[in-house]
Amino acid sequence: MITAVMPTYARYDVTLERGEGVYAFGTDGRRYLDFGAGIAVSVLGHCHPHLVAALKAQAETLWHVSNLYNIPGQEHLAERLVANTFADAVFFNNSGNEAVELGFKMIRKYQYENGNPERYRIISVSGAFHGRSLAGISSGKQEKHTKGFGPLTDGFDQVAFGNLNEMKAAITPETAGIVIEPIQGEGGIRPVDDAYLKGIRAICDEFGLLLQFDEVQTGVGRTGKLYAYEWSGVAPDILSSAKGLGGGFPVGATMAIEKVAQAMGPGSHGSTYGGNPLAMACANAVLDVVLGDGFLDHVNDMASRLGNGLEGLVDKYPSVLNETRGKGLLLGLQCKGDGSEAGTLVAKAMAGGLLAVPAGDNVIRMVPPLIIEAEHVDEALGILDGGLAEMAAEVGQEAS
């Protein structure tokens, strides 16, 4: 018989019932060091006092009003995002997928409003993940997400990750824009090098295309900058943000430069919940902390400690590990083997009291709360070391 909750997820047999800082506590009585953070969401850890206070205060004042009325929290959050990014205007939604899909709509609408209605196609790169709506899976084009859901939405092309010539060759008179993650998250923590991003920016400028960055996973301090594009010096025309933005409260944002935002007049898009007072209170509280003095310096300090530690594990266990990947506190270890090894390491880490998340390309992903301290990094490295020692022993046994 089917479970009442639809069986779309392959869940671990763990129930987390309470969280405190970087730790989550299970109904099994165990304490887990949470380096999954709800998949790069809980940037301030669990039950951060500033977030709790902001949410409680808003809950006692006003939960929800329609976008038929002014929402001061939206104005405040939008002004802060505009002041701290390339963007001139922001639309608030409820999830990463919505934040990305609105970007797709804006690319089309901009071209339409600017005399190019024939331009509607958007190019993505292989290994991309842009969410699970029809347009999301149609742009990501990963078979594990699209199988059985055809026909896919028209208007999405894909080229090989990292190949600028192929990107240029794929452009037709119908191409409207390009979408890319500055670091592929689900795809296996694959960083996009700066030269490639600069090349894509140049192609967009040459052909009159819009450039959209999907920073749903890389944003809100995750890589040690507020948004990852800042490392490359390449600014997009549109940026999608979500995951960390509400620190655990569902909220997304689609940001754009003025000429793109201008195409989105009254009635062109909407969301019942998008940007409601509860979400805005949480996201503003997250920014209070993330934009605070020294916060991103701390992220970068912890990132180098964790990154160096992971490098050390790659050196220590060459039979199991291939390389480290990522930037800031979006880090991965790529395992050797047929593809199942990262899952094995995630399970061993969990058994040792560490939560991490598998990603594509046989990678185990570490996306801890940005508030971790040195002791948490060291604790995580110790647990991984234990799991890796077991895996190395197993590889050795098979070889002998």
Footprint of ligand PLP on this chain (CB under 6 A)? 95-97, 100, 129-131, 181, 185-186, 214, 216-217, 242-243
Say which of 214, 249, 348, 361 is annotated catalytic: 214
CB 96 within 8 A of CB 61: no
Rounded to whole angstroms, the Cα distance separating 234 from 63 reads 38
User: Amino acid identity of 350?
Assistant: M
Shortest Å, Cβ 129 to ligand PLP: 5
What SS3 state is found at 33?
strand
C-alpha angle with apex 302: 298 to 305, nearest 5 degrees? 145
> On the CB side of 83, how many CA atoms lie within 13 Å of its CA?
8
DSSP 46: B
End-to-end CA distance of the chain: 45
Write out the H or E segment, with its range, that includes residue 34. Answer: strand 31-34
Shortest Å, Cβ 182 to ligand PLP: 9
Say which of 129, 156, 161, 213 is annotated catalytic: 129
Looking at the Cβ atoms of 179 and 391, the one nearer to ligand PLP is: 179
Looking at the Cβ atoms of 216 and 280, the one nearer to ligand PLP is: 216
Shortest Å, Cβ 227 to ligand PLP: 12
Q: Could you tell me whether strands 175-180 and 121-125 are parallel, antiparallel, or unpaired per DSSP bridges? A: parallel
DSSP 249: B
Rounded to whole angstroms, the Cα distance separating 147 from 338 reads 22
Looking at the Cβ atoms of 38 and 352, the one nearer to ligand PLP is: 38
Rounded to whole angstroms, the Cα distance separating 210 from 203 reads 10
In 263-336, which residue ranges form alpha helices assigned H by DSSP? Answer: 277-290, 295-316
Rounded to whole angstroms, the Cα distance separating 47 from 69 reads 30
Report residue 256 CA to chain centroid gap: 18
Q: Which residue is nearest to ligand PLP (CB)?
A: 96
Shortest Å, Cβ 121 to ligand PLP: 20
Looking at the Cβ atoms of 110 and 129, the one nearer to ligand PLP is: 129
Residue 144 among the catalytic residues: no
Shortest Å, Cβ 233 to ligand PLP: 21
Rounded to whole angstroms, the Cα distance separating 360 from 348 reads 18
Write out the H or E segment, with its range, that includes residue 335. Answer: strand 330-335
CB 93 within 8 A of CB 253: yes
What SS3 state is found at 294?
coil
Looking at the Cβ atoms of 23 and 249, the one nearer to ligand PLP is: 249
CB neighbours (10 Å) of residue 259? Answer: 13
Q: Is the dihedral of CA 217, 218, 224, 227 positive or negative?
A: negative
Rounded to whole angstroms, the Cα distance separating 330 from 356 reads 11
Residue 348 among the catalytic residues: no
Looking at the Cβ atoms of 96 and 191, the one nearer to ligand PLP is: 96
Shortest Å, Cβ 208 to ligand PLP: 25
Residue 243 among the catalytic residues: yes
Shortest Å, Cβ 165 to ligand PLP: 25
Shortest Å, Cβ 96 to ligand PLP: 2
Looking at the Cβ atoms of 216 and 310, the one nearer to ligand PLP is: 216
Say which of 109, 243, 327, 348 is annotated catalytic: 243
Looking at the Cβ atoms of 246 and 309, the one nearer to ligand PLP is: 246
Positions marked catalytic: 129, 214, 243
